[in-house]
Structure 1
Amino acid sequence: MVSNEEIRRGWPTIVIAAFGSAVGISGLLLYTIGLFTADLEHAIGLSKTSYGLGLLLVSAGVAAGTVCTGRAIDRFGARRVIVFGQLSFASGYLALATIVDTVPVFLAVMFALGFLASASGPVGFTRTVSLWFVKSRGFALGLAMTGIGVAAAVVPLVVNGVIVEYGWRAGFLVLAVIAASGIAPVLAFLKEPSATATPGEGDDLAERTELDVPAPVRARSTFAAIRRDRCFWRLLITFFVMSSAFTGLLTHFVPMLRSMDVEPSQAATLASLIGFAVIGSRVMVGFLLDHVRPGLVAAGVCALSAAGTCFLIVGGVAFAPLAAIALGLAIGGEIDMLGFFTARYFALAGYARAYSWMYTGFVIAAGISPLLIGMLFDALGTYSAALILCAALAAMCACAFATLPTPTPRTSPASLIPQPAETEL
């Protein structure tokens, strides 16, 4: 059941998280980078393998940066860390627009962008939303992450128009401006619950005694306990495989359509269907996570995406819209589920670090998968083998999620969460 009281108190956080996630690295990079491949191929000689390597490097940067982001959030709070990430993200796009003239430079910029802009990802936003919501956490996370779907639906169409009219460098400049637009709202309005907030129902005496422990120490000790939980590693591996199945297809979706002789404008339109599906998936999956066994919800999402990929394998371009919608449903549910499962299965005092590890595994897979798909295409001249592999991985994830144990209900009293110092930026 959706808690009206929680929504009343936490709706500003949902709005800012939705906008911030839309213009952060999770909302822009993977959904738009495929638009630049044809121009970069002619301008700097970027092959499909080099393109995949660039995505691997950006993912490696995000993986390394996200671990640092989790620690920084525990120390400084989400707002300042996110602002640093947005500044870095805008600067990275500016570099892509102005200094990239060879493949090595492109690869170096992609790694630096991933490492520094990782702080603009979902770690800070999902942590803040999880602090505000308990009963409606899945629904709230879904609403907060709808911004990524809106960006995925709208921004590719805008950027493609700019590229066609003014060239690929202008496209990167537009993305730099979009990324920078998230700084002011986060600075002004993103707030975490006060450390003096009334604890939720169900907090026990052992948790209350932890309030005398310094916040960074409490976060470290809590995460040490989380790492000893076998369920933590099971979820990390499952999300790794899930990301391998879906994000590679996402980044190769436009190049794949182009290889099937689809016109650039039509390919961008089909790619925008992914974004619309992401929007619906965010809300639908988030709502279901609050009311249905979470493992079954995640399994259903993976099964639907596997089916959509199979249709594309069998029917080709004619089934591209169906495949785009199925892929969007999976991509839309991934981040929601990652944050929800982390918050439900483990203590929130260690959320930032636990989530950063989960997300690190997610983005490492997001880097490996595009590279592997690019190598398969360059070797075979077709995406068929990659599609079969991704469908099989999605089916494996459906089985893994379906057999997860039901999580123990948790509450998230703000007083038990590591709080940053009150100094302003």
Structure 2
Amino acid sequence: MMQNSNLAEWKSGWPVVLVGIAGAATSSIQTVALSLIIPSLSTELGWSRAAISVSFTITTLGALLLSPLVGALLDRFGTRRVAIAGVIAKASALAAVSLTTSQIWTWYLAWVFVALAAPFASLVVWTKAVAGRFAKQRGLALAITMTGLPIANIVFTFVAAQTMGAIGWRAVYPVLAASALCVVLPLAVFFLYDERDLLRRRARAVGETVQAALPRALGRGAEIGEALRNRRLWQIFIPGFLVSMSLGGLMVHLPSMVTDAGATPAEAATVFALAFGPFAFAGRVATGLLLDRLHAPFVAGAAFILPALAALIFYSANGDIAWLIAAGALAGCALGAELEGIAYLVSVYFGQKNYGFLYGIGFGFYSVGFGIGPVIAGHIYDSYGSYERYFVFIASALLIAVPFITLLGRYPDWGSGEERAA
């Protein structure tokens, strides 16, 4: 019976997961190419690399401020409308980056438009659609959706590099924007029907008003005020923030950390490729499978503690390449698990009623943490000439904070997937 229920979820919900993979892949294209074009941009326009990198800060602030609003719109109007408009708006904003002039304020203005548009096509949108369509297999469905992120790192980095080599940096973002538009928009138009859309169809089929059907079917879950006062929400978000801060610093500075430990540049490139390629992919899938089978706080707590273990190994590796690969693998597995862990915990502890708004807050915290992590790591290195204090800092913070996730307790009863289908 359980197997039939699982198969039924996938039989009806796989198109939404397909859209989610494409959406997740294109949700990060604004940052995928930035590291590639910074040298050319600096040479052509004479700007410092630090000044150019402010664009990343702008998008991080956009995610923090707008993700809760996006989530509230998703809860009110459904995923389909927000996603289609968001993909078009984000593609237009990205294409406009190519219009930057020699005045740096035009670069910042272009990224303000990206920051305003990107949250409307972010992971908040795609996870909302998937989480609402799956109950028994929600963890695996979210994990497969998140595999779009490592796919993007491979595909769009290659596309950006080829475009820049053939045409120049100004063509990179228009090409990436067109790629996102051509892939995601048709999929969203034809296949993106979340739980709310299906309920509208059922209501019309039985002659019931949509206004009567939606509150009864989608009303399960915590109210916003109730959730914000609930300690469980902050037991999820605060460790999630610390994990994202740790992973942001580890990801951006990993090649330097490995070479500082005595490895060659080629070995550093190998560690980076393994960590944020196959290990990140494996971490997402493994976490999704475990979330559906075990108590989710234990799974998330174990995944969130991995960056602390990676930091401790980096601290004591002494240039041993095997240990450096092991540390990178742990960081990569954590990078594959953190966002789906937060999404899953919010959905099971606070229900679907205001999931979009609540996960939007969590995603905003995550984005800020991921943005300031590299700054903290860089500041510590500049001040002390090594990353050792950064390793101690993140290991201590995570070892203290993350265990609180395991104390979340039993899941509230928001109703089963079969009840919603009925």
TM over 0.5: yes
> When the two structures are superposed, what TM-score results if normalisation uses the length of structure 2?
0.81
How many corresponding residue pairs?
404
CA RMSD of aligned residues (A): 3.7
Shift of 1:274: 0.3
Residue 403 of structure 1 aligns with an amino acid whose one-letter code is: L
Out of 342, 345, 361, the position equivalent to 1:357 is 361
| Aligned 8 A contact 1:342 1:351 in 2 | yes
333, 336, 340: which one pairs with 2:340?
Answer: 336
**Which has the higher Rg, Structure 1 or Structure 2?**
2
- Which secondary structure does the structure 1 equivalent of 2:305 belong to? helix
For residue 17 of structure 1, what is the aligned residue in structure 2? 20
| Deviation, structure 1 residue 46 | 5.3
Report deviation, 1:333. Answer: 0.8
SS at match of 1:134: coil
2:88 aligned counterpart, secondary structure: helix
Alpha-carbon shift at residue 247 of structure 1 (Å): 2.4
The AA in structure 1 aligned to 2:241 is: F
Distance across 1 between alignment mates of 2:125 and 2:241: 20
Is 2:326 the counterpart of 1:325?
no
State the identity %. 23
Q: Tell me the residue number matched to 1:283.
A: 285
Q: Secondary structure at the match of 2:110?
A: helix
Report deviation, 1:99: 0.8
Corresponding letter in the other structure for 2:73: A
* Paired position in structure 1 for 2:113: 112
After superposition, what is the alpha-carbon deviation per residue over 1:56-100, rounded to whole angstroms, capped at 9, x for unaligned?
221111122212211221333212211222223323332333316
Paired with 2:399 and 2:201, the residues of 1 have a C-alpha distance of 43
C-alpha distance 106-380 of structure 1, shift in aligned 2 (>3 A): farther
Does residue 4 of structure 2 align to residue 4 of structure 1? no
Shift of 1:349: 1.0
The equivalent residue for 1:205 is none
1:311 aligns with 2:313: yes
The DSSP-based 3-state class of the residue aligned with 1:23 is helix
Deviation readout 1:270-325 (Å, 9 max, x if unpaired): 34740332222221101101111212212222333322333334345946544443
CA deviations 1:340-375 (Å, max 9, x no partner) are 001110121111111111112212222322333344
The separation in 1 between residues aligned to 2:343 and 2:97, in whole angstroms, is 31
Spell out, residue by residue over 1:189-213, the C-alpha distance to the aligned partner (whole angstroms, 9 max, x if none): 1112322699xxxxxxxxxxx9578
TM-score normalised by the chain length of structure 1: 0.81
Q: Mind listing any 5+ residue stretches in structure 2 that lack a counterpart?
A: 203-210
1:186 positional shift: 0.9
Alignment CA distance shift 1:258-1:189 (3 Å)? farther
> Mapping of 1:20-59 within 5 angstroms?
20-25=23-28, 28-44=29-45, 47=48, 49-50=50-51, 53-59=54-60
Partner of 1:186: 188
Measured after TM superposition, the shift of residue 166 of structure 1 is: 4.6
Higher relative contact order (CA 8 A, sep 6+): 1
Letter in 2 for 1:307: L
**Aligned residue for 1:203?**
none
Map 1:141-220 → 2, pairs under 5 A: 141-164=142-165, 166-180=167-181, 181-193=183-195, 194-195=198-199
CA distance in 1, matches of 2:144, 2:307: 21
| In 1: Cα distance, 2:185 partner to 2:285 partner | 25
Q: Paired residue for 2:80?
A: 79
SS at match of 2:135: coil
Per-residue deviation, 1:171:
3.4
The answer as to whether partners of 1:244 and 1:366 remain within 8 angstroms in 2 is yes
Give the conservation status (yes or no) of the 8 Å contact 2:26–2:180.
Answer: yes
Distance 2:392 2:34 in 1: 23
Partner Cα distance (1:117, 1:50) in 2: 21
Gap runs ≥5 in structure 1: 199-209, 418-425
Distance 1:263 1:51, change over 3 A: farther
Q: Alignment partner for residue 404 of structure 1, among 401, 408, 420?
A: 408
